[in-house]
Amino acid sequence: MTEIVEEKRPRDHYKASMEDGSLVMKPHCACGNPLDEEYFCEKCDKRCHCNEILCDSEATLELVQGYIKRSGQFAAFKAKLASEA
């Protein structure tokens, strides 16, 4: 039997946090560079595709996971705590 090992490499992602009671998600390249509104990383010279959401707290993670379960717009995303990334 072959064991599948998930590679822990940086990925393009959103950093999610709560600000004034609202969910805020900011896109970042796998290199860590913040992305512009076109998701283009000037440092890497590439267009990024964010499919992962890194949450700053358990409360933010629970909110995001709720969106993933209930909203088709979030269905393609995976979420986890930023400290576990």
| 55 located within any domain | yes
pLDDT of 1? 56
pLDDT of residue 18: 96
Tell me if 66 is assigned to some domain. yes
pLDDT in tens, 41-79: 999 999 999 999 999 999 999 999 999 999 989 989 999
Range of the domain at 22: 13-84
Q: What is the pLDDT of residue 5?
A: 53
| Residue 30 belongs to a domain | yes
Mean pLDDT of 15-38: 95
Structural domain count of the chain: 1
Tokens of 83: 């400290």
Q: What is the mean pLDDT of residues 76-83?
A: 94
8 in any annotated domain: no
Question: What pLDDT does 38 receive?
Answer: 95
**Predicted TM-score of the model (pTM):** 0.85
